[in-house]
Amino acid sequence: MEILNKANRIRLLNFSTPQMRAFHFSWFAFHICFFGWFGIAPLMAVVREDLSLTQTQIGNTIIASVLITVIVRLLIGVLCDRIGPRKAYSGLLILGSIPVMGIGFANSFETFLLARLAIGAIGASFVITQYHTTMMFAPNVVGTANATSAGWGNLGGGTTQIVMPLIFSGLLMLGVSETLGWRLAMVVPGVVLFVTGICYYRFTQDAPNGNFEDLRARGELPQADGDSSAGQTFLAAAKDIRVWALFVVYAICFGVELTINNIAAIYFFDHFDLTLATAGMIAGLFGLMNVFARTMGGIFSDLFAKQGGLKGRVRWLFIALVCEGLALVAFSQMHVLSYAIGIMLVFSLFVQMAEGATYGVVPFINKRALGAVAGIVGAGGNVGAVAAAFLFRSEAITYQQGLFYLGLTVLVLASCALLVRFSPETEAEEAAAYQDAVGEDTGAGALSLR
């Protein structure tokens, strides 16, 4: 699938082009999805008391929040290939707003578990975000575009940790009880999700030259031949060992980030005996690193590609993963709050750079099955989060021990990145495409305000 007129520069303050509108709407939509997806996490200490939840039950709700996302991410990539990212994103946002607001009706562990399971579907928004920016940006900046849009979206994890306790506190000041307060607080992200879905449909388009139905009508894009075509693209991606290597890689970076988003506030609350608001603020710092950290991962991916081609992108991915594992092991051993915060920020930097580096490689695996590849790799992040959640649901293992074991796992599985290789023909073809995209006055990772 060859998309024409991709942008070779990211002009952050330019909202007039379809490329930049897609960029800004995709990261904002993903940001809001994170807001809804993990909105309940910083309030779990209150929910735990209200619903009388045990550590095992909390662990089960964490698993539920990321489990369904595995399935939806696998499907949403193929759906993007068929109907385009604009319709896919709009539908997901509008439908996803329903369970986010509906979680307030939960009155038992079982109903709360089902609500978190349903909300987890909006985590598939990540795949659409990466798909849409890949449609819009040329090889010399696609790593930076993918990483920045995803990073600013992931920033919603940090925003949530800070904003939701403030909304909750504001409701308490108005005289609302704690039992009702956490329920009303979840209405806010639900409403924003709904409105964003409508705006996404109104103001974006699938590709630089138009929507997929228009491109197919003009013969600029192959026709979607129904279920058989979708099955073929998914099968082509599923047969490629490189896709599954990246599946594992994303499991040990984004999967780890999802896990930290779920447990950070309650970990600091319990382990360092902090207030709910203070614990949320500290936990929020982890997600706020997405302002620049994931972007840096994409920028370095594009810069490594300038010197080393696709091999350079893979080499950088491996380096970022190893540094992530070392930082996580160190974080798990911290007993002093100030040291724990400092090491957490270092760990956050590398885990998010590893995520950016992963999707600096994904666009080059199989362009004809881009949605399927992005979906499978994206699902890996949630599989990693589900696997990691089992460490934190056991009463026999402390959160600190779980973090240590998780860090060792990252170090061992980082070698999977080295399984991603490209043929000499593909290397030469992408090197030529890179140089064509750079042009006369732009460089790798060209990102500017105008």
Element (H, E) at 219: none
- Flag whether pLDDT at 447 surpasses 70: no
Q: Residue 46: its pLDDT value, please? A: 93
What percent of the chain lies above the pLDDT cut of 70? 95
> Stretch 322-347: mean pLDDT, rounded?
94
For the cut 80, the answer to whether the pLDDT of residue 7 exceeds it is yes
Arithmetic mean of pLDDT, 198-202 = 97
Please, what are the domains in the chain? Answer: 15-438 (1.20.1250.20)
The mean predicted confidence, pLDDT, of the chain is 89
**For the residues 168-191, what does the mean pLDDT come to?**
95
Cβ contact 130:375 at 8 Å: no
**What is the band of 283 on the pLDDT scale with cuts at 50, 70, 90?**
confident
Higher pLDDT, 254 or 66: 254
Q: Report the pLDDT averaged over residues 292-308.
A: 90
At 441, the pLDDT band (50, 70, 90 cuts) reads very low
Block residue for tokens 């994103």:
89
pLDDT of residue 100: 95
Burial 47-70 (b: 16+ CB within 10 A, else e): beebbebebebbbbbbbbbbbbbb
Please determine, for residue 228, whether its predicted confidence score (pLDDT) is greater than 70: no
Residue 83, pLDDT above cutoff 80: yes
Residue 2 has pLDDT above 80, yes or no: no
- The whole-number pLDDT of residue 242 equals 96
- Asked if 248 contacts 234 with a C-beta cutoff of 8 angstroms, the reply is no
Give pLDDT, residue 230: 61
